[in-house]
Amino acid sequence: FRILVTPGDGIGPEVMEEALKVLGRVQQRFGHEFVYDEETIGGAAIDRYGVALRPETIAKAKASDAVLFGAVGGPKWDDPRASVRPEDAILGMRKQLGLFANLRPVRVAPELIGESTLKPEVLQGVDMVVIRELTGGLYFGKPKRRWENAEGRQAVDTLRYSEREVARVCHVAFQLARQRRKKVTSVDKANVLRTGQLWREVATEVGKQYPDVELEHILVDACAMYLVRRPASFDVIVTENMFGDILTDEAAMLAGSMGMMPSASLGRRRKDGTGIGLYEPIHGSAPDIAGQGKANPLAMILSAAMMLRLSLGLDREAKAVEDAVDAVIREGLRTPDIAGPGAKVVDTRTMGSAVA
């Protein structure tokens, strides 16, 4: 298996090291060979090459089975008007690798239920996957530009979707729901947006091909409410790019810390269900705690587990990693972000080693 490793900025390299430690143990224990290639991306690549993502990196990604992505960004490269930005790395990977479906599972470990700002009884039974469309909508639509006229500065972004883009990500949602509690919640703003109408229409059509799966439609504003009000009622949520960005970060708060939240970004699948993917913790580069051993490596480690399952087809191995994460949590090991009063606080490396 060929894996492209892109640690990136901030805490990216630290958490990546722990994920690789765990994968090393998987190789040993299950007798696999992972061949790694490493590339500089994000702010670090801007400093070194003048761009956040080089064509060489994309070429290597395409020749790999999967990309393990740390995090990008930091105050040094934070000028919103700069022409090169660390975010180009993640946006470029998504677009150029055709990774149109972003899966973000939200589960709350019973031992961590107290870390959330929500009441424990509301979190009982929360187990959802949010599927976010990742290569369309406002992120990439054209025109996307700024200009000036007699009335001053102007700016425009374009929210565009085609039937094909909506259908393929909905199929991912329904297929996943079949392996779960058989319920899909499609989120749109059909009462205001033309793209929302198209989204609802196509989601309904795709749903007809999965008569065993229940489909409900809700408006994005209602969804933002229900995620806080009755999160356990969701199984699979599917939505467009920008809504997914907002709703997944909100949903992450159910688990108390983003330090536990993995993600997978998938493109077209092969017959056996596997295919290239990019695996990334959703926490970002957290420059304020970088280099201090405080970062929680579990989101990166759980992202690696998703890679084992979804790109390498190694289900048993993925399960072993997930079980190991559950076990260290059960044993009471905590990085600062998930440490309640009186907890056994450990550093990034100790946490990684414990899982390994």
Which residue in the list 127, 157, 249, 347 is annotated as catalytic?
Answer: 249
> Using CA atoms, how far apart are residues 106 and 129, in angstroms rounded to an integer?
6
Quote the DSSP letter at residue 116: S
Catalytic residue status for 212:
no
Nearest residue to 264 via CA among 315, 231, 300? 300
Closest approach, Cβ 344 to ligand IPM, in A, equals 31
Contacts with a copy of itself, residue ranges (CB under 8 A): 73, 80-81, 85, 87, 91, 117-119, 122, 138-139, 141, 144-146, 151-164, 189-198, 200-202, 220-222, 224-225, 227-230, 242-243, 245-250, 252-253, 258
Burial class (CB in 10 A: 0-12, 13-18, 19+), 264: buried
Closest CA to 188 of 243, 118, 143: 243
Smallest separation, CB 65 to ligand IPM (Å): 22
Q: Which of residues 203-222 bind ligand IPM (CB under 6 A)?
A: 221
Catalytic residue among 221, 319, 323, 344: 221
Q: Provide φ and ψ at 271, rounded to 5°.
A: -50, -40
Interface with ligand IPM (CB under 6 A), residue from 38, 216, 245, 250: 245
N-term to C-term CA, the chain: 20
Q: List all residues 6 or more positions away from 208 whose beta carbon is below 8 Å from its beta carbon.
A: none
229 with 222: CB under 8 angstroms? no
Task: Verify whether residue 337 is a known catalytic residue.
Answer: no
Residue 94 known to bind ligand: yes
Tell whether 80 is in a known binding site. Answer: yes
Write out the two tokens for 263.
Answer: 């993600």
Q: Which does 194 bind (CB under 5 to 8 A by kind): ligand IPM, a copy of itself, none?
A: a copy of itself
Tell me: is residue 336 an annotated ligand-binding position: no
Residue of 86, 32, 17, 71 lying closest to 311 (CA atoms): 32
Concerning whether 139 is annotated as a catalytic residue, the answer is: yes
Annotated active-site residue in 65, 88, 139, 235: 139
Whether residue 262 contacts residue 105, with contact meaning beta carbons closer than 8 Å, is answered with yes
When CB distances are held under 5 to 8 angstroms depending on the partner's kind, the choice from ligand IPM, a copy of itself, none that residue 84 binds is: none
Position 90 contacts ligand IPM (CB under 6 A): yes
Residues with catalytic roles: 139, 189, 221, 245, 249
Q: Which residues define the annotated binding site for Mg(2+)?
A: 221, 245, 249
